[in-house]
Amino acid sequence: MHSLFSAFVPIWTLTAIGYLVARGGVLGPHAGAVLGRFVFLVAMPAALLNTLSKAPVRQLASAPILAFAIGTVATCLLGLLASRRLFGRAPADQAIGGMLAGYVNSSNLGIPVASQVLGDASFPAAVVLFQILTITPIILTLLDAGTRRSARPRLVSAVLLPVRNPIIAASALGVVLSAAHWRLPAPVANSCSLLGAAAVPTALIALGMSLHGRRSPGVEEPAADESAAEDPEEWSAEESGARAELAVVVVLKTLVQPVLGYVIGRWALHLSPHDLLAVVLCSALPTAQNAFIYAREYGLRTALARDAIVVSTLLSRSRSR
């Protein structure tokens, strides 16, 4: 149990440091955005390239991963539909809603938790591969199309997305290297490892910085010149809608996704008790901080992503006791 608690401590520590940094203003008003772009454009691609170039893609060919994949895709679709039908969000925000509902923190939380509960980290390692190779490209394609970053036709833009998006480009290169059994030269691999190690802590610092000055869960902060003129009734309605949207996302992530994994694993695929536990455990992991980084990078609402990560992580910690 102490090991489980230790897995959560760095998350809260780095998030708190980010909050204190923003509160003290020591990095300036634009530091959060700059750190987010550093993670998205530099550190995360380096980490993905280094990880995938060493990972055997054949790990994805297993019944437990299939159970996790079906539950994850179904939950992401439910989150996207809820964002669209219940809350009338734009297409790019719908993609973030889907990601918040089903994209799990499989690396810096999943691996230590699985090592403690299951005795090894092979399953969350395969989950990392699945999310990087399938969910991430789909989400980024939807974000790219929804924000109309390219003036080219949609088909051309989608084809060129791996070239324009450093995360997809690095992932694709890593898979090619792994499939060909090639290895990065040691100096390059060591540089990627060192740079990639900055991705998670920097993302958590940026997440913590975004917590400073927030008014209400899920609600964006108004600009200084708009707050005085804001209609109190409109603000109340927005606040209620934001709380409802946050509740839906968190319920999907912490309850619906593990239940789906259990149902599919037990009655559809007839998994062994150990494999079923692995599926449910990883399905119940909180939302990954990548969702916040993607929302910030694409200029979308970050409040929902920020709060969904914090709340789902709190709930996951309370269930692990």
Question: What is the per-residue DSSP string for 18-46?
Answer: HHHHHHHTTT-TTHHHHHHHHIIIIIHHH
Total count of residues recorded for the chain: 321
The pLDDT value given to residue 73: 98
More confident residue, 305 or 164: 305
What residues contact residue 153 under an 8 Å CB cut-off, 6+ apart? Answer: none
Q: How many domains does the chain have?
A: 1
Q: Domain limits at 41? A: 2-19+28-211+236-319
pLDDT tens digits, one per residue of 16-29: 999 999 999 999 98
Residue 225 lies in a domain: no
Residue 44 to residues 9, 50, 314, Cα–Cα distance (Å): 22, 10, 24
Residue 309 located in a structural domain: yes
pLDDT digits (tens, 9 = 90+) for 84-127: 999 999 999 999 999 999 999 998 788 778 877 778 778 998 99
- If you average pLDDT over residues 260-269, what whole number do you get? 97
Amino acid at 173: L
> Of residues 223 and 68, which shows the higher confidence score?
68
Which H or E run contains 316?
A: helix 303-319
Quick check: is 226 in a domain?
no
Here the tokens at position 131 are 């999310």
Per the domain annotation, does 305 fall within a domain?
yes
Give the pLDDT band of residue 241 (cuts 50, 70, 90): confident
Q: Tell me which amino acid residue 124 is.
A: P
Q: What is the pLDDT of residue 223?
A: 44
Q: Is residue 8 part of a domain?
A: yes
User: How confident is the model at residue 225, as a pLDDT?
Assistant: 44
Q: How far apart are CA 205 and CA 224, in angstroms?
A: 24
Average confidence (pLDDT) over 30-47: 93
> How open is the CA angle 124-61-267, to the nearest 5 degrees?
80
Residue 224 has pLDDT above 50, yes or no: no
Q: In the chain, what percentage of residues exceed pLDDT 70?
A: 84
Rounded to whole angstroms, how far apart are CA atoms 84 and 143?
A: 14
Residue 228: inside a domain, yes or no?
no
Least confident of 54-58, 78-82, 96-100, 279-283: 54-58
The reply to whether 50 falls in a domain is yes
* Rounded Cα distance, 138 and 33, in Å: 24
* Whether pLDDT at 51 is above 60: yes
Look up the CATH number of the domain holding residue 303.
Answer: 1.20.1530.20
Residue 223 DSSP class: P
**Residue 226: predicted pLDDT:** 45
153: in domain? yes
Residue 155: per-residue pLDDT: 55
Distance CA 2, CA 271 (A): 29
**Minimum mean pLDDT range among 48-57, 62-71, 131-140, 233-242:** 233-242
The yes-or-no verdict on residue 235 having pLDDT over 70 is: no
